[in-house]
Structure 1
Amino acid sequence: MSKKPEFRPNDFVVYPAHGVGQIVSIEKQEVAGFELEVFVVQFTKDKMKLSVPTNKASDVGMRSLSSPEIVTKAMTTLKGKAKVKKAMWSRRAQEYEAKINSGDLIAIAEVVRDLHRNDEQREQSYSERQLYEAALDRLTRELAAVQGMDEDGALKAVDEILTARAA
């Protein structure tokens, strides 16, 4: 039996596959004849609710929001030089997807940094754009939640760093 994480209703959490959500309640639900205690997590932007068994939350990687120190490291990561491997796109795409779904804010920032294109650079392919937008969305949602700002403000902060880096 995994140890039960200490989350409470109204806490913001990060679920690796979906990003930032808010625990709306802790309920008992009957599943296949067993009674389970679950966190009900609301993802407002995706209009989705997820029930996560309380004893499995840490196993699936559900975690509290990143600390301000981690957010600072992630923003510093954005300022770095893009590291693009010479591997085939399909291999790189799998690596980017894994980083995005890891729920690790710094890994997500690496994807945003590596896939960001400024106006002078070549166009992104459709799949590059999809991965970039998914990573950017996860990064800005967590940044907004940690710093208590709206997502537009967080997006603007990230964009300023990326634009300054490219200059």
Structure 2
Amino acid sequence: MRNSEKTFKVGDRAVYPAQGVGVIEAIESREFAGIESEFYVLRIVDTDMTIMVPVGNVEQVGLRRLISKRQVARVYQVLENKPENGVGAIASWSRRQREYNEKIKSGDPLEVAEVLRELYLIKEDKELSYGEKKVLELARKLLISEIALAEGKDEEKVAQRVENMLLN
């Protein structure tokens, strides 16, 4: 990407993996070690946290645009389609946790939906551990907030729809 080419402009919504949806509040130049670099100043909507992302590192960190309505439909398909052979309950929690965290950090909403679906399936068979509950809540929060913004709907309505899909 050329220096003059920017992926986002001030006011755009963007998704930062494992943190959620944010708003580009500014594009600033900063100098570090004698090198001038441009940064997106991203404020995460849910937490009010501010993250500075180098304009040239957008792809490496996984910063991306909000999903489209068509992509939302694909996320709903992932949530509805239960795997025929069950879930990786055979694998140890530490192994599954590593896989789940990698999927969440990828920022791919389809992979986050898989994590959420699998944890709901496991929850049907047994009480989730503290770690499993934390991962489930993170995946749920990330997915629901992005879908709500992409569809222009209330988070509560999206949460109800997602819950219905996962519980049926």
Instruction: Output the TM-score relative to the length of structure 2.
Output: 0.88
Offset at residue 88 of structure 1 (A): 1.4
Corresponding residue of 2:155 = 151
Offset at residue 123 of structure 1 (A): 1.3
Q: Which moved more, 1:109-118 or 1:19-28?
A: 109-118
Offset at residue 118 of structure 1 (A): 9.1
Superposed, which structure 2 residues align to 1:112-123 within 5 Å? 112-116=116-120, 121-123=125-127
Offset at residue 90 of structure 1 (A): 0.8
- Asked if 2 retains the 8 angstrom alpha-carbon contact of 1:116 and 1:162, the reply is yes
Root mean square deviation of aligned Cα? 2.0
- Asked if 2 retains the 8 angstrom alpha-carbon contact of 1:117 and 1:124, the reply is no
Higher normalized helix content (fraction of residues): 2
- Report % sequence identity: 38
Offset at residue 150 of structure 1 (A): 2.7
Task: Quickly say closer, same or farther: Cα 1:87–1:122, change in 2 above 3 A.
Answer: closer
Alignment length, in residue pairs? Answer: 164
Superposed, which structure 2 residues align to 1:129-140 within 5 Å? 129-140=133-144
The structure 2 residue matched to 1:91, chosen from 95, 99, 106, is: 95
Confirm or deny that 1:50 pairs with 2:54: no
Task: Quickly say closer, same or farther: Cα 1:119–1:57, change in 2 above 3 A.
Answer: closer
Superposed, which structure 2 residues align to 1:53-132 within 5 Å? 53-82=54-83, 83-85=86-88, 86-116=90-120, 121-132=125-136
Supply the distance in 2 between the matched residues of 1:142 and 1:103 (Cα, whole angstroms). Answer: 11
Offset at residue 122 of structure 1 (A): 2.3
Instruction: Output the TM-score relative to the length of structure 1.
Output: 0.89
Supply the distance in 2 between the matched residues of 1:73 and 1:55 (Cα, whole angstroms). Answer: 29
Supply the distance in 2 between the matched residues of 1:87 and 1:118 (Cα, whole angstroms). Answer: 12
Partner amino acid for 1:44? V
